[in-house]
């Protein structure tokens, strides 16, 4: 039985973002990874995904779990994914770069990197819920590759002695930090705090990189969510491309550093596919509406 946070009622499968059918979410590219990397017999893939998803939902009912977002392998959709792969696999690099995936949850982006040729030794994932490690190895059937590569920690904890302070000991060691569908879980103030923590984790040198995606909106601002949509009333800040860059400008000024920020929306094709997927399942997503965009961003130290 996994550790459980929040009230039992938060696991209800009545949530709009708990999809009882995977529908068209699993594309041939996603299926290929489960068949070839995880070696799941083709006829068993769907059943396996439902079981692993339900196990993860029991740990915490995140929309990315309920909606099967994890089978999209979000990092691989980033426009800079090919450049990231080249960096992580470059044979000329004497000390291979290490990547930390923050809010890794099921660790799907790490598995996709391995499937695409990056040695697992260079890849680590971190999440506030330690049981996602087990959920990830259950989903991908690869305990031998990723044992010891999961760091249970709260990004915002700055005390190394705290039970969730394990990331503090890794400060200034990471070449790349990835953060998929992660920063958008906070309001503006806490997103700034999270970004500052990420800067502490990265090696303090030119070229260190944060790469990721968040759900945003062309009409940026704080949005309030109330129970039963979320366990506790909370606001989250949804960025536009412009406000994301502005936030980083404020951080630069505050810390006296220089970064290169790139931010782009998902293209029409990706958006249309998402709407079609939603209609096909007759179910909603946590974030929806015509103003919604997925932001793909990168922040590089100068």
Q: Which residues bind ligand SAM (CB under 6 A)?
A: 60, 62, 64, 69-70, 74, 103-105, 127-129, 132, 154-156, 180-182, 185
Given the complex with ligand SAM, which of 246 and 274 has the nearer CB atom?
A: 274
Closest CB 70 distance from ligand SAM, rounded Å: 5
206: left (phi over 0), alpha (psi -120 to 50) or beta: beta
Among residues 223 and 252, whose Cβ is nearest to ligand SAM?
223
Query: Residue 298: which residues within 8 A CB-CB, separation 6 or more?
Result: 78, 80, 209, 210, 211, 212, 260, 261, 262, 263
Q: Which is nearer to ligand SAM, 181 or 299 (CB)?
A: 181
Q: Cβ-closest residue to ligand SAM? A: 103
Closer to ligand SAM by CB, 130 or 246: give it.
130
The CA angle 135-49-26, to the nearest 5 degrees, is 125
- In whole angstroms, what is the distance from residue 82 CA to residue 298 CA? 13
Provide the minimum distance between the beta carbon of 130 and ligand SAM in the complex, in angstroms, as a whole number: 10
290, 265 Cβ separation under 8 angstroms:
no
Q: From the centroid of its chain, how far is CA 217? A: 18
Give the nearest distance from C-beta 162 to ligand SAM in angstroms.
12
Contact 101, 126 (CB under 8 A): yes
Residue 62: CB minimum distance to ligand SAM, A: 5
Give me the least distance between CB of 114 and ligand SAM, in Å please.
Answer: 16
Nearest approach in angstroms of CB 182 to ligand SAM is: 5
Which is closer to ligand SAM, CB of 126 or CB of 243?
Answer: 126
Of 104 and 292, the one with the shorter C-beta distance to ligand SAM is 104
Cβ–Cβ under 8 Å, residues 114 and 125: no
Alpha carbon distance 121, 300 (integer Å):
23
CA pair distance 129, 146, nearest whole angstrom: 17
């Amino acid at each position: 039985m996994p550790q459980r946070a929040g009230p039992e009622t938060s696991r209800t499968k009545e949530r709009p973002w708990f999809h009882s059918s995977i529908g068209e979410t699993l594309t041939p590219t996603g299926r290929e990874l489960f068949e070839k990397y995880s070696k799941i017999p083709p006829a068993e893939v769907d059943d396996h995904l439902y079981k692993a998803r339900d196990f993860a939902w029991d740990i915490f009912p995140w929309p990315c779990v309920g909606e099967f977002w994890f089978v999209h392998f979000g990092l691989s959709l980033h426009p800079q994914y090919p450049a990231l792969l080249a960096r992580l696999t470059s044979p000329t690099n004497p000390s291979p770069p290490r990547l930390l995936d923050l809010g890794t949850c099921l660790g799907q982006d790490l598995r996709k990197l391995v499937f695409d040729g990056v040695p697992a030794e260079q890849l680590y994932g971190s999440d506030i819920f330690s049981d996602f490690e087990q959920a990830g190895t259950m989903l991908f059937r690869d305990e031998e590759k990723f044992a010891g590569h999961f760091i249970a920690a709260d990004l915002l904890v700055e005390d190394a002695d705290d039970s969730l302070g394990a990331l503090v000991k890794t400060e200034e060691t990471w070449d790349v930090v990835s953060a998929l569908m992660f920063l958008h879980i906070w309001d503006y103030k806490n997103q700034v705090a999270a970004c500052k923590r990420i800067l502490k984790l990265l090696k303090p040198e030119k070229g260190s990189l944060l790469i990721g995606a968040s759900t945003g909106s062309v009409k940026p601002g704080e949005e309030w969510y109330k129970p039963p949509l979320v366990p506790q009333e909370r606001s989250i800040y949804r960025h536009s491309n412009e406000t994301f860059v502005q936030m980083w400008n404020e951080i630069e000024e505050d810390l006296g550093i220089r970064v290169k920020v790139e931010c782009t929306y998902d293209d029409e094709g990706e958006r249309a596919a998402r709407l079609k997927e939603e209609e096909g399942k007759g179910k909603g997503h946590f974030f929806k509406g015509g103003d919604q965009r997925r932001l793909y961003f990168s922040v590089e130290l100068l």
